[in-house]
């Protein structure tokens, strides 16, 4: 590129003086520009190559593999099997159980975690001294890995564990706790509670950044009018958080759909499939049974759900604004 | 006295608000403290129990002693952990994997963001939009096809002075690092931050004859401390905590990261003291980092609020 530009300017030796100056200038700037293009792409390419390799290609692959019989390690090349994996999936009882569990989880965890997080955000959104200390306390579970949290709560939830001792103590021995994780009706709620405990601090910070965008003048005006605390919340805080609310709704829902670590550490999907989830099922068939194709079909359904939820969220935000 | 008379006549009481405010503030503090207990005591219980023998952990459960470092305290559980699992190896692996991912992640994502923010590239608007569009895909949906895919990828093996081409990344260090270096959200964060740095600085440097790499390394990056901190934290946490991915792609004991180590504690006799000790060991470094860089942590979460 550079040489050809230089050549087009060179065979034109100037007879009249004023002409070559601007011509030379454009050749310098265009040479500079083409170098800028090359350097720019050089800087951009490592990230782009990696994103293509590890996000775009796997995404495309999950579409392709879902219609084959590919296995993780197999002497035979994968062959096209049409809708077989989906036919098998849609007759699989565990799959419907996973959907129900994930929906149940989301239905309880989204309002509970969002609500607790909002309460904490409001409580620490003041300039009172000592409040930062409580922010630190609320946030500690967030920096603790879900694996550690799951182990810790396995002990808390065990039959003669911490929770049951506290229940017995507070009721003076009148009440006895359950074997939380081994009972099909309490296992998933126990995991929900633990997940709220781990994740609320994260969403507290997101609520907090939303709260700080609400103008202080609105609150001052409200104080002059002598409104109650509830009215302040109902008519200023809540409407002011519309955008944050949607964001939190979507992130907690996707977090619920992606439920895996807690299940794998604490219950392995049991008892009686009471805690099995989409991702857990995908990992079990794709990794433990090495059925990559079937796992890709599950991943594809999962991805479709994420897209649908995001679309609904986008629709809701559009209607409000 | 006067105030009592006033409250009888006036609709808006004068004395009451101060009293009500005090009650409000008291109730707010009560809720703050109660929530503080709920959110920190389980972790306190974990650290305290890691110092106690098993029998005492269970003995203390029914009293407040469960949360207090009292009784027969020792580091015995910690030394037992090193007998049961190659904990030192796991720690070194996790530190190495996280450090390399963070360093390369900061470098590669900031370079890409620099090109997209500071340079006149053809089609950069579309590229940025495409990169941000990938944020909608949760890692869990890609994980299983990705296992199959990394098993097909080639790698150059270095044995002393000889190079050999191998196929399949399963059971390696690179499979735990390379897929997580490029990150659309990190690029987005750097891009946002770079846009706030005046472009006149670049022009001045260019007049002085600086090239693009020099502008990147001498002007833009030194001014981007907060963005570097945010991206480092958002890269470090999932790298240190990663569990699903190494569970599937790493089989050899000597390549495993810390989170996979928990499996060892449910083989043979289960000792909760040892489990608490191992849990504390792999949590304390992160908690220490959090307390040291608290502001950056909170900022990084707050900025991740714009994702979605």
Q: Mind listing the pLDDT tens digit for each residue in A86-121? A: 988 888 888 999 999 999 999 999 999 999 999 999
Contact, B67 vs B44, CB < 8 A? yes
How far does the CA of residue A69 sit from the closest CA of chain B (Å)? 12
DSSP B136: G
Strand partners, A80: A68
Which pLDDT value is given to residue A108?
94
- CA-nearest residue to B31 within chain A is A123
Which pLDDT value is given to residue B121?
86
Judged by a CB distance cut-off of 8 A, whether residue A30 touches chain B is no
Strand partners, B155: B166
Per-residue CA distances from A180 to A184, A193, B57, B66 (Å) = 9, 11, 20, 20
Q: Domains of chain B, with CATH numbers? A: 24-74 (no CATH), 87-304 (1.10.3720.10)
DSSP A95: H
- Number of Cβ within 10 Å of residue A309's Cβ equals 17
How far does the CA of residue B28 sit from the closest CA of chain A (Å)? 7
Low-confidence ranges of chain A (pLDDT < 70): 1-28, 317-321
How far does the CA of residue A16 sit from the closest CA of chain B (Å)? 30
pLDDT in tens for each of the 308 residues of chain B? 344 434 444 444 445 567 777 887 888 889 999 999 999 999 999 999 999 998 888 888 878 888 888 888 889 899 988 988 899 999 999 999 999 999 999 999 999 999 999 888 888 889 998 988 888 788 888 888 898 899 888 888 887 788 888 888 888 999 999 999 999 989 988 998 898 889 888 888 988 888 899 999 999 999 998 889 889 988 999 999 999 899 989 989 899 999 998 888 887 788 889 999 999 999 998 998 888 888 877 777 777 655 43
Name chain B contacts of A247, Cβ cutoff 8 Å.
Answer: 305, 308
Which pLDDT value is given to residue B208?
87
Nearest Cα neighbor of B202 from A40, B210, B224, B124 is B210
The DSSP element (H or E) to which B163 belongs, if any, is: strand B162-167
What six digits make up the tokens of A319? 């209607």
- Written as one string, the DSSP assignment of B68-115 is S--SS--SHHHHHHHHHS-HHHHHHHHHHHHHHHHHHHHHHHHHHHHH
Contacts with B, A 103-162, CB within 8 Å: 119-120, 123-124, 131, 134-148, 151-153, 155-156, 160-162
Q: In this predicted complex, what is the ipTM?
A: 0.85
The DSSP element (H or E) to which B165 belongs, if any, is: strand B162-167
Judged by a CB distance cut-off of 8 A, whether residue A234 touches chain B is no
Cβ-defined contact of A283 to B144 (cutoff 8 Å)? yes
Per-residue CA distances from A93 to A89, A188, A264, A279, A285 (Å) = 8, 18, 19, 15, 14
What six digits make up the tokens of A183? 């009972």
Which pLDDT value is given to residue B257?
95
Contact, A183 vs A190, CB < 8 A? no
């Amino acid at each position: 590129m550079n040489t050809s530009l230089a050549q087009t300017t060179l065979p034109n030796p100037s007879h009249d003086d004023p002409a070559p100056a601007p011509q030379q200038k454009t050749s310098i700037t265009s040479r500079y520009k083409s170098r800028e293009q090359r350097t720019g792409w050089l800087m951009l390419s490592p990230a782009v190559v990696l994103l293509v390799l590890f996000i775009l290609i796997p995404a495309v692959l999950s579409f392709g593999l879902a219609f084959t019989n590919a296995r993780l390690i197999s002497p035979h090349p994968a062959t096209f099997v049409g809708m077989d994996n989906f036919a098998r999936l849609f007759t699989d009882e565990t799959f419907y159980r996973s959907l129900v569990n994930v929906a149940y989880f989301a239905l309880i965890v989204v309002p509970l975690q969002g609500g607790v997080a909002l309460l904490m955000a409001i409580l620490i959104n003041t300039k009172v001294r000592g409040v930062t200390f409580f922010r630190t306390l609320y946030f500690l579970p967030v920096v603790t890995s879900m694996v550690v949290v799951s182990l810790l709560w396995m002990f808390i939830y065990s039959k003669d564990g911490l929770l049951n001792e506290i229940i017995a103590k507070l009721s003076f021995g009148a009440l006895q706790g359950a074997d939380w994780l081994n009972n099909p009706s309490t296992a998933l709620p126990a995991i929900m509670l633990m997940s709220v405990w781990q994740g609320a601090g994260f969403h507290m910070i997101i609520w907090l950044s939303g709260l700080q965008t609400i103008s202080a003048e609105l609150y001052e005006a409200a104080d002059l009018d002598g409104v109650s605390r509830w009215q302040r919340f109902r008519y200023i805080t809540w409407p002011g958080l519309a955008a944050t609310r949607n964001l939190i709704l979507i992130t907690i829902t996707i977090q619920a759909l992606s439920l895996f670590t807690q299940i794998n550490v604490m219950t392995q999907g049991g008892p009686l499939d009471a805690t099995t989830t989409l991702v857990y099922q995908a990992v079990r068939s794709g990794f433990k049974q090495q059925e990559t194709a079937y796992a890709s079909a599950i991943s594809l359904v999962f991805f479709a759900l994420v897209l649908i939820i995001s679309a609904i969220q986008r629709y809701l935000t559009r209607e409000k604004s | 006295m006067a105030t009592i008379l006033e409250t009888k006549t006036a609709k808006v009481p004068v004395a009451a608000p101060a009293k009500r405010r005090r009650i409000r503030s008291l109730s707010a503090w009560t809720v703050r403290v109660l929530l503080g207990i709920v959110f920190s005591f389980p972790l306190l219980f974990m650290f305290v129990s890691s110092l106690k023998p098993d029998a005492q952990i269970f003995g203390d459960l029914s009293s407040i002693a469960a949360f207090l470092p009292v009784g027969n305290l020792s580091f015995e559980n910690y030394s037992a952990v090193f007998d049961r699992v190659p904990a030192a190896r796991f720690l070194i692996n996790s530190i190495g994997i996280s450090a390399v991912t963070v360093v390369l992640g900061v470098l590669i994502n900031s370079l890409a963001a620099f090109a997209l923010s500071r340079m006149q590239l053809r089609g950069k608007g579309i590229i940025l939009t495409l990169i941000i569009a990938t944020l909608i895909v949760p890692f869990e949906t890609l994980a299983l096809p990705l296992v199959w895919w990394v098993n097909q990828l080639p790698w150059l093996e270095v044995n002393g002075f000889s190079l050999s081409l191998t196929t399949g990344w399963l059971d390696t260090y690179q499979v735990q690092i390379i897929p997580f270096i490029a990150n659309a959200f990190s690029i987005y964060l750097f891009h946002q931050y770079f846009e706030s740095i005046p472009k006149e600085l670049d022009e001045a440097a260019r007049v002085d004859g600086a090239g693009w790499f020099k502008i990147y390394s001498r002007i833009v990056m030194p001014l981007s401390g907060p963005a570097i901190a945010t991206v480092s934290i958002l890269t470090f946490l999932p790298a240190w905590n990663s569990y699903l991915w190494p569970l599937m792609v790493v089989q050899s004991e000597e390549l495993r990261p810390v989170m996979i180590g928990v499996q060892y504690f449910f083989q043979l006799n289960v000792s909760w003291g040892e489990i608490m000790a191992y849990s504390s060991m792999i949590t304390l470094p992160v908690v220490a980092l959090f307390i040291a860089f608290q502001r950056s942590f909170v900022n990084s979460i707050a900025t991740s609020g714009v994702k979605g």
